[in-house]
Amino acid sequence: MAITSVYLWCYGIKWAFLRNHDTLQYQTKLLPARQKTIKAMQSEQYNTNSKKVIFFLFALLFTAGLSANAQNIRVAAAANLQPVMEVLQKDFKQKTGISIDAVIGSSGKLVAQISNGAPFDVFLSADMSFPETLFKNGFAKEKPVVYASGSLIICSTQNIGFENWERLLLSARVKKIAVANPAIAPYGKAAEQSLQDKGILDDAKPKIVYGESISQVNTYITTGVADVGFTTQSLVKELGNKTTLYYKVIDPKTYEPIQQGIVILKHGADNPSADKFYRYILSPAAKSIFKAYGYRVQ
């Protein structure tokens, strides 16, 4: 009985050992398969997470790209605005965070570009007739409004005296007179009107050197290519202490008012940033800047 009990007890240990041994061998055989399964699951989870991260980053960059594009606007601005435009751009961006890509040129040439499909959002003209033409032809969202009135001056880098500028222009002292092309530049048109009003246009014409824009006229004046020139008063502010400029403001009664108009173009009709810039140009903040550059504002 005791022997039987001992045998059974030993047999139990052996059976238990064999059972555990078999289980261990079975588990050992399964371990590589489980490790493969775990690695596959981890790899799948990693790939899934990676895809999510990549998709998130792509969506973020895409959204940022759309936001950036929505924030930027393209503005066509008359050449006489070149000095003041830089100040307006900086002030507007500081107030709104919106960047402006400004293209400067004569009003007539800019209108030609817009009419041929140039993707501008806003047009700042040197007169009212050019933006009115764009509106009539369906290129502008609404009728133009006046944002400022320009001031015409006669000037030179030489201190030749402008007390009696009409007589001076006909004297031997002045050989070249710079004037912007009156067909496409409103300030050139105003200059010829003033010369006509004084009755000296025909006599002065042989001396006139025409520039394609007021910017080119300014170059003629500051480099000495022309002895004198008719330009915008904003040039005086632009040069500051860099170049000494002698000038006289032309009596505004001698030429038609240079009322400068702004319009939101068809391309910018659905751009909220274009509308913000439009309202900014008509705001007291912008008017203060225009006034500092010699423009008249209401």
User: How many whole angstroms separate alpha carbon 154 and alpha carbon 233?
Assistant: 9
Please give the pLDDT value at position 30: 45
At residue 2, does pLDDT exceed 60? no
pTM reported for the whole predicted model? 0.72
- The single-letter code of the amino acid at 72 is N
pLDDT in tens, 141-154: 999 999 999 999 99
> Is the CB of residue 85 less than 8 Å from the CB of residue 295?
no
Q: What are phi and psi of 102, to 5 degrees?
A: -95, 135
Confidence of residue 13 (pLDDT cuts 50, 70, 90): very low
- The single-letter code of the amino acid at 119 is P
> Is the CB of residue 101 less than 8 Å from the CB of residue 72?
yes
Confidence of residue 177 (pLDDT cuts 50, 70, 90): very high
pLDDT in tens, 15-28: 343 344 444 344 44
